[in-house]
Structure 1
Amino acid sequence: MTRETRRAINTFMRYLVLIVVGLVMIYPLIWMVGATFKTNNEIFSGIGFIPKNPTFSGYKNALKNYGGDIDIFKAMINTYSIVLPKVLFTIISATVTAYGFARFQFRGKNLLFAVLMSTLFLPQVVLNVPQFILFNKFGWIDSPLYMALIVPTLFATDTYFVFMLIQFLRNIPGELEEAACIDGCGSIKTLWYVIVPMLKPSIVSCALFQFMWSSNDFMGPLLYVNTPAKYPASIFVKMSMDADAGFEWNRVLAMSLISIIPSLIVFLAAQDQFIDGIAAGGVKG
């Protein structure tokens, strides 16, 4: 067997394994799309994704108004009224915090960094009660602007993003900032014109993580949003399940599919920079 033949066989086997693993991983999503066109009986009759008797009742019912004055589109608008500010404020606060820890020397830096990193090991469930009491005193519960969900992101509360950006900053030569300083740039201009463009892949990764996590967040809106008209999609989908009358699973799956389409589009549009950001942030050069 020649070297070219062995190389061709190895390439074929690698792609075959990748295709098989990819199909196994994506099959639940494919099945979900097919199940939106099935009846309840057909959904539970097998694992095939092609409907035998397609029906659009799932999508018709998904567009109905549930809970009085809210439907799936209003719920999605509510969702992104929370998600977009959280993404923007998270990027700003995490970038500034990471830049401060990575590039400046100040008293108590090591202690503060240790405290910051220790919060990674603190589960959110431990914080729910004290945060709820605090936000209730501030009058942020059921705020029309979702204050309890959005305001904390102004203070770099997502430690994972700060850590990711610090790791990326350690790979950026300090000489670039020294050159900017010689040209008359202060710290803010250096951050904006020098650091941020080089941090772009990692910033995109942080934005995508926050976008997906916030879109799927159930516990936060459940605690801090009480008015049905302001429910995001994650609460609306659960609210539309009627345990007494029985679930119309094609409707539930149709609503779920509609609600995740924006996340899929955003991820596919930025996947290259997302992968670059994860790889660069996880390895120190």
Structure 2
Amino acid sequence: MQIAMRGWKVYVYHLLVGGLAFLMLYPIIWLAVSSLKPNDEIFSTAYSLIPSKLEFGNYASGWKGFAGNTFTTFFKNSFIIVIGATIGAVASSALVAYALARVPFAGRGFWFGCVMLTMMLPQDVTVISQYVIFSKLHWLSSYKPLIVPSFFGVPFFIFLMMQFIRTLPADLDEAAKMDGCTKYGIFFRIVLPLIVPALVTSTIFSFYWTWDDFLHPLLYMNKPSLYPVSLALKLFLDGDSLNNWGGMFAMTTLSLVPIVLVFFLFQKYIVEGISTSGLKG
């Protein structure tokens, strides 16, 4: 009897979890299915997940892009911005986190407090001041406003890596000093290889946030040839392309592919990096 009850509970549990998972995934499933529907069926049969025929032409028409720029250009722009911003964010945040966690210097607590305060500051508050600065530097209509600030550290990544570094035994640093390692040698030879999960986690989050960013490219990009995918998708709602819903859904579906691939390839590092950074050694 107990075995039967346990089996029933497991069945109900999986049924509920599967139902919740379907509800959360339904918008993405609907998007992918709609990208294969003819334009006149997308909203007339909105509740149906089975298209009357597969319209692969939506991907061809959507990929043509706008103003002589195909989505090859837009995807290339996105990868340039994402790769540059991610490298800068992870590298600079690792250096700052190591300094705050391991290197004693005057005012360390004050600077750590400043980092924590910036985490509580909404990005929208700094948009105007940043725009003025970048305008005076003549950086508008270029990738610089989207990439260069990342090389000055990201507060969340700094905090994440600090918590990870604090789990490492301080004896490792002392042993390295006895072997003649400098602070930089300790960082590159000892600390950096041991915080790989935190580095990968930060890389994944930076990839997500930069790839999905719409506001900042909208502010700084004035030429369609420089648009990333997130901004290029908006062009489907302008002018003559207003009726090309199939093309828009097709390109939106393709824009999710890099994010999904990155998540499934590195999901174990996300869990390990976040869970381990919550411990204190």
1:15 corresponding residue in structure 2: 14
1:277 corresponding residue in structure 2: 273
Partner of 1:215, secondary structure, is helix
Contact map agreement 1:87 1:210 (CA 8 A) in 2: yes
Q: Aligned AA for 1:139?
A: H
1:97 aligned onto 2:93: no
Give the superposition deviation at 1:151. Answer: 0.8
Give the superposition deviation at 1:7. Answer: 4.5
Contact map agreement 1:75 1:230 (CA 8 A) in 2: yes
Unaligned residue ranges in structure 2 (runs of 5+) = none
1:147 corresponding residue in structure 2: 144
How far, CA to CA, are the matches of 2:17 and 2:180 in structure 1? 51
How far, CA to CA, are the matches of 1:245 and 1:226 in structure 2? 20
String of CA shifts for 1:157-211, please: whole Å, max 9, x gaps.
x211111111112212111222222222221121122211221111111101110
Give the superposition deviation at 1:64. Answer: 1.4
2:107 corresponding residue in structure 1: 108
- Go from structure 1 to structure 2 and tell me whether the alpha carbon gap of 1:11 and 1:195 turns closer, same or farther (over 3 Å shift): farther
| Alignment of structure 1 residues 115-154 onto 2, 5 Å | 115-143=114-142, 146-154=143-151
- Go from structure 1 to structure 2 and tell me whether the alpha carbon gap of 1:137 and 1:226 turns closer, same or farther (over 3 Å shift): same
1:78 aligned onto 2:77: yes
Q: Aligned AA for 2:47?
A: I
Contact map agreement 1:225 1:231 (CA 8 A) in 2: yes
- Go from structure 1 to structure 2 and tell me whether the alpha carbon gap of 1:80 and 1:17 turns closer, same or farther (over 3 Å shift): same
- Name whichever of 8-17 and 94-103 sits farther off: 8-17
Contact map agreement 1:32 1:49 (CA 8 A) in 2: no
1:202 aligned onto 2:210: no
Q: Aligned AA for 2:212?
A: N
| Alignment of structure 1 residues 1-285 onto 2, 5 Å | 1-2=1-2, 4-44=3-43, 45-66=45-66, 68-143=67-142, 146-156=143-153, 158-242=154-238, 246-285=242-281
Give the superposition deviation at 1:72. Answer: 0.9
How far, CA to CA, are the matches of 1:248 and 1:204 in structure 2? 38
Q: Aligned AA for 1:88?
A: I
- Name whichever of 77-86 and 9-18 sits farther off: 9-18
How far, CA to CA, are the matches of 2:48 and 2:196 in structure 1? 42
Contact map agreement 1:168 1:280 (CA 8 A) in 2: yes
- Go from structure 1 to structure 2 and tell me whether the alpha carbon gap of 1:151 and 1:16 turns closer, same or farther (over 3 Å shift): same
How far, CA to CA, are the matches of 2:93 and 2:210 in structure 1? 16
Q: Aligned AA for 2:130?
A: Q
How far, CA to CA, are the matches of 2:21 and 2:6 in structure 1? 22
String of CA shifts for 1:115-145, please: whole Å, max 9, x gaps.
11111111111111111111111111113xx
How far, CA to CA, are the matches of 1:207 and 1:128 in structure 2? 24
Q: Aligned AA for 1:246?
A: L
Unaligned residue ranges in structure 1 (runs of 5+) = none
String of CA shifts for 1:208-262, please: whole Å, max 9, x gaps.
1110110111111111111111111111110232356633221111011112212
Figure out how many residues of one structure are paired with residues of the other and give that number: 280
Contact map agreement 2:164 2:198 (CA 8 A) in 1: yes
Contact map agreement 2:236 2:242 (CA 8 A) in 1: no
Task: Tell me the TM-score normalized by structure 1.
Answer: 0.92
How far, CA to CA, are the matches of 1:147 and 1:167 in structure 2? 30
Partner of 1:240, secondary structure, is helix
Percent sequence identity is 33
How far, CA to CA, are the matches of 1:79 and 1:59 in structure 2? 19
Task: Tell me the TM-score normalized by structure 2.
Answer: 0.93
Q: Aligned AA for 2:167?
A: N
How far, CA to CA, are the matches of 1:71 and 1:211 in structure 2? 22
- Name whichever of 188-197 and 238-247 sits farther off: 238-247
Q: Aligned AA for 2:79?
A: Y
Give the superposition deviation at 1:10. Answer: 4.1
- Go from structure 1 to structure 2 and tell me whether the alpha carbon gap of 1:243 and 1:97 turns closer, same or farther (over 3 Å shift): same
Give the superposition deviation at 1:30. Answer: 1.5
